[in-house]
Structure formats: structure tokens, C-alpha cells
Amino acid sequence: METKELLGLKIKELRKKNHFTQEQLAEMLNLDFGYISKLEVGRNFPALGTLEKIAKALKVEIYELFQFTNEKSSDFKQEIIDIYDKLNKEKQYTLYRVAKDLLD
């Protein structure tokens, strides 16, 4: 995966962690919503000044935007539990069946 794609995924992850929509983040940064969308899928790469604004809005240091290591791997269990808790009963059962099928 290219750096701009990894950066986009990191920005998306941090945006969601802060409970911002793409529209909210774009408004905070005085940017077009389409720019944020393209940024998150790796089609745009921001200038340094924009990176600084993004980092500030997402409450991280600029270098943290480029920490692409698999730091979340230990959080998979909790993330799956969080996802499960947000699903209705039918979707919970579907998730259970998919997980059980992975064991076979």
C-alpha cells in the first residue's frame, strides 16, 4: 500500500475515533468535503500546512499521522466486541456464524 493510502486510512481512523463526519472535518479545516473523501482513499496527498491543520483537528501530533504500524492488532478483540454490541440480534447471529465458519 502506498504512503498516501496509508495516510488516508490513518486520517479516517482518527476522524472516526473523534466522532467526526467527513463533512464536519472538512468544515473545521475550511476544505471541500470531496477533498477529505479523496484524501481518505489515497487519491489526494495534503500539503504540509494542511497536514498540520488535520493533526490539530484530530488532536494528534503530525508525526502520528504517519505511524502506520499495526498498533491496533492487540485491540482486535475489543473492536470485534464493540462492533457486535452495535448490531441487532439478526446481524449478531450472522457475525457469529461467519466467525464460527472461520474456525473450520
pLDDT digits (tens, 9 = 90+) for 68-79: 865 455 567 888
Bin 45: left if φ > 0, else alpha if -120 < ψ < 50, else beta.
Answer: beta
What pLDDT score was predicted for residue 77?
Answer: 81
pTM: 0.66
Phi, psi angles (nearest 5°) of residue 45: -130, 120
- Which CATH class for the 3-66 domain? mainly alpha
Question: Which of these ranges, 8-12, 15-19, 35-39, 100-104, has the smallest mean pLDDT?
Answer: 100-104
Residues whose CB is less than 8 angstroms from the CB of residue 42 and which lie 6 or more positions away in sequence, other chains included: 2, 4, 5, 6, 7, 8, 9
Residues whose CB is less than 8 angstroms from the CB of residue 83 and which lie 6 or more positions away in sequence, other chains included: 95
Nearest CA-CA partner of 6 in 75, 63, 67, 54: 67
Report the pLDDT averaged over residues 3-29. 95
**What is the Cα–Cα distance from 10 to 6, expressed in whole angstroms?**
6
Q: How many CB atoms lie within 10 A of CB 28?
A: 15
pLDDT in tens, 24-73: 999 999 999 999 999 999 999 999 999 999 999 999 999 999 998 654 55
Whether residue 4 is predicted with pLDDT greater than 70 in this model: the reply is yes
